[in-house]
């Protein structure tokens, strides 16, 4: 409190101040947020990738503080980790892939609300790479080939299905996909244990530079052009109980997303919450950073998921999205 700075305090003012101090000291009492937020301190899961940069930007620039929010970022590996933590309450909001959130909604693992879009597809953000001397020259040549990526039935494999469809190629994930963490994909390709790999940045750039891999195709055209990739979500219960907090988070994130498209800004903030150095941020392909959240855009993700059997029925995304602009 700043009472010590006051030169004069009226008797009534002193009494009022004493009563206020007494009230905040009482056990079990919670002081209301001065901005009227239901919850002024929140824990937000953030993946250690460039796509989550807006949270760190909003912290650095004071956007959350201006909204009366204190955000405690929590590092997470991805949506698979975020979903149980959201459900259990150890996270209030979390970064994650839309594919994972929509699967969780359909399967009943989580009643989700998408609050903010974080990233969208751009040129070479995710790509299919082959050895430089590979006979594979077109996506149609991937039929029957072994393809390395981080998991089956996830967003990356969905992108592959969509990219191959125009070429009339269908893949059986159980037979074609070889699972390994993204950092291990270079070794699989170099040792020729797979014919191709699918990786995101910064691995797209890294694998081309270190072993001379050739970029066969990316996912920035056709059915996945400008495709929404990740976003920040909460449980339905959290969003319903904390509408002002959610709106404050959205406003701060929209400002941060607008700055995130500046590579110079990213070079400053990304090393603060990831192991990606500034010199790598300077050269990799960057994702798109949407500044609004659109149910129409996100419906594309659900529709492609249903098309390729990831979702059993049509998912009405509008009921899951709290739009902001």
By the 8 A CB rule, do 216 and 130 touch?
Answer: yes
What the chain holds in terms of domains, given with CATH numbers, is 41-120+227-320 (3.40.190.10), 126-224 (3.40.190.10)
State the pLDDT at residue 31.
42
State the pLDDT at residue 35.
64
State the pLDDT at residue 152.
87
pLDDT tops 70 at residue 22 = no
Extract the tokens encoding 41: 């301190």
Q: What is the mean pLDDT of residues 264-288?
A: 96
Q: Distance between CA 192 and CA 146 in Å, rounded?
A: 10
Q: Distance between CA 296 and CA 318 in Å, rounded?
A: 8
pLDDT in tens, 89-139: 999 999 999 999 999 999 999 999 999 999 999 999 999 999 999 999 999
Extract the tokens encoding 196: 């191709």
Q: What pTM, to 2 d.p., does this model score?
A: 0.84
Length of the chain: 325
pLDDT in tens, 287-323: 999 999 999 999 999 999 999 999 999 999 999 999 9
pLDDT in tens, 27-50: 333 344 556 999 999 999 999 999
pLDDT in tens, 133-160: 999 999 999 999 999 998 888 888 999 9
β-strand partners of 73: 44
Q: What is the mean pLDDT of residues 168-178?
A: 93
State the pLDDT at residue 282.
96
**Alpha-carbon radius of gyration of the chain:** 23
């Amino acid at each position: 409190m700043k009472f010590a700075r006051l030169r004069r305090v009226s008797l009534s003012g002193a009494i009022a101040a004493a009563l206020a101090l007494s009230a905040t000291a009482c056990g079990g009492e919670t002081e209301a947020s001065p901005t009227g937020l239901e919850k002024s301190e929140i824990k937000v899961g953030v993946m250690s990738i460039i796509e989550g940069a807006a949270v760190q930007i909003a912290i650095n620039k004071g956007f959350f503080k201006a909204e009366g929010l204190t955000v405690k970022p929590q590092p997470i590996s991805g949506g698979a980790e975020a979903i149980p933590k959201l459900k259990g309450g150890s996270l209030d909001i979390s970064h994650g892939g839309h594919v994972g959130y929509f699967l969780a909604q359909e399967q009943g693992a989580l009643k989700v609300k998408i609050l903010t879009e974080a990233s969208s597809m751009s040129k070479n953000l995710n790509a299919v790479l082959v050895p430089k001397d590979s006979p594979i020259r077109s996506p149609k040549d991937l039929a029957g080939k072994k393809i390395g990526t981080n998991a089956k039935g996830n967003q990356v494999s969905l992108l592959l299905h969509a990219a191959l469809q125009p070429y009339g190629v269908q893949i059986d994930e159980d037979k074609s996909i070889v699972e390994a963490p993204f950092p291990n994909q270079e070794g699989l390709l170099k040792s020729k244990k797979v014919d191709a790999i699918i990786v995101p940045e910064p691995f797209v750039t890294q694998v081309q530079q270190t072993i001379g891999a050739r970029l066969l195709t990316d996912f920035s055209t056709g059915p996945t052009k400008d495709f929404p990739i990740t976003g920040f979500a909460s449980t339905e219960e959290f969003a319903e109980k904390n509408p002002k907090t959610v709106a404050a988070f959205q406003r701060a994130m929209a400002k941060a997303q607008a700055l995130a498209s500046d590579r110079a800004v990213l070079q400053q903030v990304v090393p603060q919450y990831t192991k990606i150095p500034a010199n790598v941020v300077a050269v990799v392909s960057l994702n798109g950073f949407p500044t609004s959240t659109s149910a129409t855009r996100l419906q594309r993700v659900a529709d492609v998921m249903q098309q390729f059997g990831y979702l059993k029925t049509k998912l009405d995304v509008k009921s899951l999205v709290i739009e902001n602009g």
